[in-house]
Structure 1
Amino acid sequence: MSVEFLEWINIRIHDKKYFTARYLAHLSDISGMQSETIAKILCGFLFTILTFCDQAHFFANSILIGVPLLLIFCYPEEKPADESFYIYFPVFGGITLFDRNLESVPCYYVMKLMLFLLFFTPPYTLHKQISDLLSKDPGVENTIQSRASTGKSTGKPLEPSTRTAVSRQPTSKSSVKTDVTQLTTPSPMAFRSKPKNSDVKVTTIEEYYREEELLSPNGTVINRVITGPFRKETTRIENKKDK
């Protein structure tokens, strides 16, 4: 095994900074045995259960779920980076779906437990390797950079000119003058649109007569005079809406 891997295991057994070492030290005080001996006995007992017990599926998955949750909620100062659990739990769920199909393989649950142990033990740290594989493909970044550089070098497309360029300069091989006419794009004709709303001036002409009566002191009509006709014009502005 790797020296780093053995050192990592040894720290979890003896360094009371970690909850595993603290529990082993407590069992060591009760039993009088060394922490390493207790750790070996527990590993042998676990190996037997995962290999020969009918409930190996339950014990293996309980450990693989319980230990991460214990680190997250009970010992957060000892847990790995949160990003590692983003890889750990999806991979665990995907492999667990095929447990019943793969448990016929000898020592399958022991190998499964060791596999997920390698997620966090150096120098393997499988969660980092999986994270690198799932990261962005460098080929995509090169493609994006090449497209960006092409866009910068090309610049904006030239707009079509509305003028006609005529070249009268002779070439070096021939003294014949050539005309080079550049195609022009005709500008569209401007049409004045008819407004939907317009004001209308309306003139009303009225014709009327004026009647005058001369009355006596007692109120009788002495004389009646009718003059006219007279014309009266009225102008107003109306708003007309076109349908």
Structure 2
Amino acid sequence: MSETIAWIECRIYDKNHFTARYLAHLADLSGMQPVTIAKILCGLLFTILTLTDQAHFFANSTLIGIPLLLIFVYPDEKPSDESFFIYFPIFGGITLFDRSLEGIPCYYVLKLLFLLFFFMPPYTVCQIIANGLFIEKDVENSNKSRRDSIAKSHSMRTAISEGPSPKCDVATDTTQITFTPSPLPIPSEPKSSDIKVTVIEEYYKEEELLSPNGSVIDRVITGPFRKETTRTERKNQK
């Protein structure tokens, strides 16, 4: 809970975020405190989402406008790309059922809060969905590799078990050649061949949000990510 409160205060007072810069500008014009202006705007938005017929428009405009603003206007302030990859499909799926779910009291307020949790610590919702997607993807890749190996093994057994075709249009030479073994063994020369080596590394990415005095306000760890490095080596065969 303390992380969530610190995150909200950072968006109100820390001018490294565009929300704090806009609130500071409104505070200079009105003479009020930024937190007072933030409460007034939240109350106005809550009233619109619960009491007006334009709740659908305002809710979805806010939920699509702020992420696009972070992506295209303030890219230095946006969260990790993985959170957007999860956010937009979930947002689109819920929006399809807006008209059917409008009967729920304060539906658009609940929708706004739920999707806000994707970018607000402790990032529980986003992490659960991300972990599920990564696990499902790994299982799918594992099953695909297993199927490919079984199919390859089956094709090899089939090719070995099949004898030469009984019918052949090409005439073969039936002359028998007898080879006399050499009295001295002939040393075999080593042959060289190239082998392909693939190194797979797994790593995590850690992002820290720092306050103006240098202290850590928020820390996000994303991953795991996979990195593949391929190189060719020469191997001697005897």
**Corresponding residue of 1:82:** 81
Which consecutive unaligned segments of at least 5 residues does structure 1 have?
A: 151-155, 161-184, 195-243
Greater than 4 Å deviation, 4+ residue runs: 137-150, 185-192
Secondary structure of the structure 2 residue equivalent to 1:67? helix
Query: Of residues 161, 171, 179 in structure 2, which corresponds to 1:193?
Result: 171
Q: 1:193 to 1:29 in 2, by over 3 A?
A: same
> Displacement of 1:91 after TM fit?
1.3
> Displacement of 1:145 after TM fit?
8.0
Secondary structure of the structure 1 residue equivalent to 2:122? coil
Q: Distance in 2 between matches of 1:130 and 1:28?
A: 38
Q: 1:57 to 1:149 in 2, by over 3 A?
A: closer
**Corresponding residue of 1:12:** 11
Bigger relative CO (Cα 8 Å, ≥ 6 apart): 2
Alpha-carbon deviations, 1:156-180, whole Å to 9, x = none?
87x78xxxxxxxxxxxxxxxxxxxx
Q: 1:77 to 1:189 in 2, by over 3 A?
A: closer
Q: Count how many residue pairs are aligned between Structure 1 and Structure 2.
A: 169
**1:1-243 to 2 correspondences below 5 Å:** 2-135=1-134, 136=136, 139=139, 193=171
Alpha-carbon deviations, 1:149-205, whole Å to 9, x = none?
99xxxxx87x78xxxxxxxxxxxxxxxxxxxxxxxx8996987539xxxxxxxxxxx
Q: Distance in 1 between matches of 2:59 and 2:128?
A: 24
Alignment TM-score, normalising by the size of structure 1: 0.59
CA contact (8 A) 1:50 1:59 kept: yes
Q: Distance in 2 between matches of 1:149 and 1:109?
A: 50
Q: Distance in 2 between matches of 1:110 and 1:189?
A: 78
Alignment TM-score, normalising by the size of structure 2: 0.60
**Corresponding residue of 2:190:** none
Rg larger for: 1
> Displacement of 1:93 after TM fit?
1.1
Sequence identity, in percent?
Answer: 60
> Displacement of 1:34 after TM fit?
1.0
Secondary structure of the structure 1 residue equivalent to 2:123? coil
Q: Distance in 2 between matches of 1:191 and 1:88?
A: 65
Q: Distance in 2 between matches of 1:146 and 1:190?
A: 37
Q: 1:123 to 1:144 in 2, by over 3 A?
A: same
Q: Distance in 1 between matches of 2:49 and 2:10?
A: 25
> Displacement of 1:126 after TM fit?
2.8
**Corresponding residue of 2:175:** none
Q: 1:9 to 1:144 in 2, by over 3 A?
A: same
Which consecutive unaligned segments of at least 5 residues does structure 2 have?
A: 151-155, 173-238
> Displacement of 1:131 after TM fit?
2.2
Alpha-carbon deviations, 1:16-70, whole Å to 9, x = none?
0000001111111111111111111111111111011111001001101111111
Q: 1:30 to 1:141 in 2, by over 3 A?
A: same
Q: 1:148 to 1:32 in 2, by over 3 A?
A: same
Q: 1:189 to 1:91 in 2, by over 3 A?
A: closer
Q: Distance in 2 between matches of 1:187 and 1:74?
A: 69
Q: Distance in 1 between matches of 2:68 and 2:164?
A: 74
Q: Distance in 1 between matches of 2:63 and 2:146?
A: 45
Q: 1:86 to 1:33 in 2, by over 3 A?
A: same
Q: Distance in 2 between matches of 1:40 and 1:55?
A: 21
